[in-house]
């Protein structure tokens, strides 16, 4: 009884601490230094070669954006050191894929500093999911190298304006701040100077930059900043943070404290789809001139596809969740996914943005109980009503195909490049 009482008391104290912590974190700021970037600036002071990982979505991936601008500014500011950037930005993806990608796309390159940018792409995710993924990213990086510094940066989109005008953070930012606070990770709110200019009437969020001379036009499409305006504001915010952070150079070992979320996604792994057992006809598109494979070869060194109804890929794993990093496009259909003895679920691989081929990903709707599971991904016989999807969208937002031109959409193929697994595969006895 005494142990149970002490445990209950401990949980209550933790809950009270988190409740008290949240209002303090839920206020706008330029940056929060916390433990800073001491190892990064120590290497700058020593004039060494430095590698910076940029993990994020399309705002980070953008050519000429804050990633490239900040790298150039750093090289100009600290000419004795040599800076190399690792572009790990993937458009249309959030931290829930980032935690699976971080090993291959960032950690394997042995970075000295990692920026993490997912506030916009995580905008619609539940805070708990964000925390599990972001904490998984942090713990993976520090498991590999406890001297790699990390910094969270918070970009914005027009949808966030009304919330940010109140002085509060968008929920995705707040969820990330709780992880940053727990681990002493610095964070820079790129959105703060944007909102300051917006509130003072000097900036409009969306418009044609060439047709408005009296105000700063931040974005062309409500999300993606212009390089010379929005991205420049982001870069200036980061450099202002650096001016203070550089005063705290030194050697710091980042020790992993107890988890913020006990079921975080530190165990996330991304395995090539070649680990899946195939049934039916699957085409290996790797090292071919297939147009989809060529277009997405930087995402998928190994890529398979099938448009044969009932063709399947399957595996047995021990863990709690599984998904695929795959392809969405005009010639895609849908997967039927069956786990153990549960009823199968359909996962469409076509949407109103599918005028062009793009990498995408999905997970099973709910995490499972820890244990051994069998999963089968099959090409569904149920065809999507693509005409209806196209008509509902009018013209595609990213493409020129309309409802009257459906030839590219006649196939109903499924693709697979990577397996996303919270757990580990089970090797079958031969």
CATH code (residue 139): 3.40.50.1110
Higher pLDDT, 212 or 342: 342
pLDDT for the residue 214: 84
**CATH code where residue 370 lies:** 2.60.120.260
Residue 120 counted as domain residue = yes
User: Domain residues for 295?
Assistant: 269-425
Three-state SS across the chain?
CHHHHHHHHHHHHHHHHHHHHHHHHCCCCCEECCCCCHHHHHHHHCCCEEEEEEEECHHHHCCCCHHHHHHHHHHHHCCCCEEEEEEEECCCCCHHHHHHHHHHHCHHHCCCEEEEECCCCCCCCCHHHHHHHHHHHHHHHHHHCCCCEEEEECCCCHHHHHHHHCCCCCHHHHHHHHHHHHHCCCEECCHHHHHHHHHCCCEEEECCHHHCCCCEEEECCCCCECCCCHHHHHHHHHHHHHHHHCCCCCCCCCCCCCCCCCCCCCCEEEEEHHHCEEECCCEECCCCCCHHHHHCCCCCCCCEEECCCCCEEEEEEEEEEEEEEEEECCCECEEEEEECCCCCEEEECCCCCCCCCEEEEEECCCCCCCEEEEEEEEECCCCCCHHHHHHHHCCCCCCCCCCCCCHHHCCCEEEECEEEEEEEECCCCC
Distances from the Cα of 274 to the Cαs of 284, 300, 328, 368, 417, in angstroms? 10, 12, 19, 24, 8
Per-residue pLDDT tens digits for 63-107:
999 999 999 999 999 999 999 999 999 999 999 999 999 999 999
My answer on whether 225 and 370 are in the same domain is: no
My answer on whether 231 and 293 are in the same domain is: no
My answer on whether 230 and 298 are in the same domain is: no
My answer on whether 150 and 28 are in the same domain is: yes
Residues 6+ apart with CB under 8 A from 66: 59, 60, 190, 231, 234, 235, 238
Per-residue pLDDT tens digits for 258-271:
999 999 999 999 99
Give the strand order in the sheet containing 113-117: 31-32, 187-188, 149-153, 113-117, 49-56, 82-89
Residue 12 counted as domain residue = no
- The terminus-to-terminus CA distance of the chain in angstroms comes to 50
My answer on whether 86 and 207 are in the same domain is: yes
pLDDT for the residue 401: 47
What are the phi and psi torsion angles at 115 (to 5°)? Answer: -90, 140
My answer on whether 363 and 279 are in the same domain is: yes
Query: Residue 133 CB: number of other CB atoms within 10 A?
Result: 28
pLDDT for the residue 388: 84
Higher pLDDT, 367 or 251: 251
Mean pLDDT computed over 232-258: 96
Mean pLDDT computed over 160-171: 97
My answer on whether 288 and 420 are in the same domain is: yes
Q: Whose structure tokens read 């496009």?
A: 329
Residue 253 counted as domain residue = no
Q: Whose structure tokens read 């009270």?
A: 16
My answer on whether 365 and 408 are in the same domain is: yes
Residues 6+ apart with CB under 8 A from 101: 55, 88, 90, 93, 270
Mean pLDDT computed over 40-46: 97
pLDDT for the residue 210: 77
pLDDT for the residue 392: 61
As a whole number of angstroms, the distance between CA 363 and CA 276 comes to 16
Per-residue pLDDT tens digits for 303-337:
999 999 999 999 999 999 999 999 999 999 999 99
My answer on whether 73 and 161 are in the same domain is: yes
Residue 31, pLDDT > 60, answer yes
Higher pLDDT, 22 or 408: 408
Residue 415, pLDDT > 70, answer yes
Query: In percent, how much of the chain has pLDDT > 90?
Result: 83
Number of domains in the chain: 2
Instruction: Look up the pTM and report it.
Output: 0.91
**Bridge partners for 421 per DSSP:** 269, 322
Mean pLDDT computed over 150-178: 98
pLDDT for the residue 13: 38
Mean pLDDT computed over 239-251: 96
Residue 317 counted as domain residue = yes
Using 50, 70 and 90 to split pLDDT, how confident is the model at 6?
very low
Residues 6+ apart with CB under 8 A from 390: 352, 396, 401, 402, 403, 406, 409
My answer on whether 169 and 275 are in the same domain is: no
Using 50, 70 and 90 to split pLDDT, how confident is the model at 21?
low
Higher pLDDT, 120 or 9: 120
Query: In percent, how much of the chain has pLDDT > 70?
Result: 90
My answer on whether 299 and 156 are in the same domain is: no
My answer on whether 163 and 128 are in the same domain is: yes
Domain end call among 206, 230, 245: 245
Residue 259 counted as domain residue = no
pLDDT for the residue 19: 41
Residue 10 counted as domain residue = no
Residue 328 counted as domain residue = yes
Residue 400, pLDDT > 50, answer no
Residue 424, pLDDT > 70, answer yes
Domain end call among 245, 279, 294: 245
What are the phi and psi torsion angles at 41 (to 5°)? Answer: -75, -25
pLDDT for the residue 142: 98
pLDDT for the residue 246: 96
Residue 8 counted as domain residue = no
């Amino acid at each position: 009884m005494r142990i149970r009482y002490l445990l209950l008391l401990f949980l209550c104290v933790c809950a009270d601490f988190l409740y008290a912590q949240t209002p303090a974190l839920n206020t706008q700021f330029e940056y929060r230094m916390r433990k800073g970037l001491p190892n990064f600036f120590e290497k700058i002071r020593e004039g060494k070669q430095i590698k910076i990982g940029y993990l994020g979505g399309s705002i980070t991936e953008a050519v000429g954006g804050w990633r490239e601008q900040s790298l150039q500014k750093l090289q100009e500011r600290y000419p004795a050191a040599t800076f190399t950037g690792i572009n790990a930005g993937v458009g249309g993806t959030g931290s829930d894929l980032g935690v699976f990608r971080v090993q291959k796309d960032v950690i394997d390159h042995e970075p000295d500093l990692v920026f993490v940018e997912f506030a916009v792409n995580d905008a619609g995710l539940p805070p708990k999911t964000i925390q599990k993924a972001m904490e998984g990213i942090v713990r993976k990086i520090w498991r590999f190298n406890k001297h790699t510094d990390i910094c969270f940066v918070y970009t914005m989109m027009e949808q966030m304006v009304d919330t940010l005008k109140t002085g509060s953070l968008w929920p995705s930012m707040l969820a990330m701040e709780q992880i940053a606070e727990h681990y002493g990770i610095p964070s820079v709110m790129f959105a703060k100077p944007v909102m300051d200019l917006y509130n003072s009437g000097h900036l409009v969020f969306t418009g044609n930059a060439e047709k408005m001379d009296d105000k700063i036009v931040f974005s062309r499409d409500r999300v993606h900043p212009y390089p010379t305006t929005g991205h420049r504001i982001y870069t200036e915010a980061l450099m202002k943070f650096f001016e203070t952070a550089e005063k705290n150079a030194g050697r710091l070992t980042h020790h992993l404290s107890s988890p913020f979320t006990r079921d975080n996604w530190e165990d996330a792994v991304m395995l090539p789809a070649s680990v899946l057992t195939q049934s039916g006809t699957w085409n290996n598109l790797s090292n071919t001139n297939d147009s989809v494979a060529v277009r997405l070869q930087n995402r998928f060194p190994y890529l398979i596809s099938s448009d044969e109804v009932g063709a399947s890929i399957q595996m047995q794993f021990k863990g709690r969740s599984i998904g695929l990093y795959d392809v969405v496009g005009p010639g895609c259909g849908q997967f039927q996914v069956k786990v153990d003895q549960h009823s199968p679920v359909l996962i469409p691989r076509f949407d109103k943005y599918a005028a062009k081929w793009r990498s995408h990903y999905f997970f099973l709707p709910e995490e499972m109980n820890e244990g051994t599971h069998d999963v089968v991904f099959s090409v569904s016989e149920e065809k999507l009503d693509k005409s209806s999807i196209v008509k509902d969208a009018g013209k595609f937002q990213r493409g020129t195909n309309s409802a009257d031109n459906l030839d590219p959409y006649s196939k109903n193929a499924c693709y697979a490049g990577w397996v996303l697994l919270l757990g580990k595969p089970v090797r079958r006895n031969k």
